[in-house]
């Protein structure tokens, strides 16, 4: 049971490039989400999904796209990277019921130059 797995761990992009951050969980969790964490700040919600085929926007969705074709995977796409997207990105999941804690991956550190 690996929990939440994020790849890659590190990535450097040039402005305007696109890429996909991968997230997979093996706990059969219905709910998955993406957060970004900037230095000295808390985690801000980008997008989330309550189940396969369903996604919704969080606090800071602009510049990011998501899809949820399977229960296990929830990729985050940057269509045209900007320096403001330099951050550490965390994927998290939890069972579908409310009042349960999120389980986090170890993050992807993204630098956009």
Q: List the structure tokens of 39.
A: 């230095």
- Minimal distance, residue 58 CB to other proteins, in Å: 7
Q: Are 47 and 76 spatial neighbours (Cβ–Cβ below 8 Å)?
A: yes
> Applying CB under 8 A, which residues contact other proteins?
4, 31, 33, 35, 40-45, 48, 50, 56, 58-59, 90, 92, 98-99, 101-107
Residues in the chain: 113
Q: Nearer to other proteins by C-beta: 13 or 31?
A: 31
We find the least distance from the C-beta atom of residue 28 to other proteins, in angstroms, to be 17
Q: Which is nearer to other proteins, 26 or 80 (CB)?
A: 26
All residues at 6 or more sequence positions from 2 whose CB lies less than 8 Å from its CB, including other chains: 26
Q: Which of 71, 73, 1, 74 is nearest to 29 (CA)?
A: 71
Which C-beta is closer to other proteins: that of 17 or that of 45? Answer: 45
CB of 92 to other proteins, least distance (A): 8
Nearer to other proteins, 13 or 43 (CB): 43
Q: Say whether 61 sits in a helix, a strand or coil.
A: coil
CB 84, min distance to other proteins, A = 18
The sign one gets for the Cα dihedral 37, 109, 68, 104 is negative
């Amino acid at each position: 049971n690996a929990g939440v797995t994020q790849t890659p761990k590190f990535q450097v992009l040039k402005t305007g490039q696109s890429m996909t951050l991968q997230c997979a969980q093996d706990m059969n969790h219905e709910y998955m989400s993406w957060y970004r964490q900037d230095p000295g700040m808390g985690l801000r919600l980008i997008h989330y999904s309550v189940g396969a085929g369903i996604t919704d926007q969080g606090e800071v969705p602009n510049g990011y796209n998501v899809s949820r074709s399977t229960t296990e995977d929830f990729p985050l796409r940057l269509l045209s990277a900007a320096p403001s997207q330099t951050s550490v990105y965390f994927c998290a999941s939890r069972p579908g019921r409310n009042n349960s804690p999120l389980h986090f991956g170890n993050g992807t550190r993204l630098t956009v130059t």
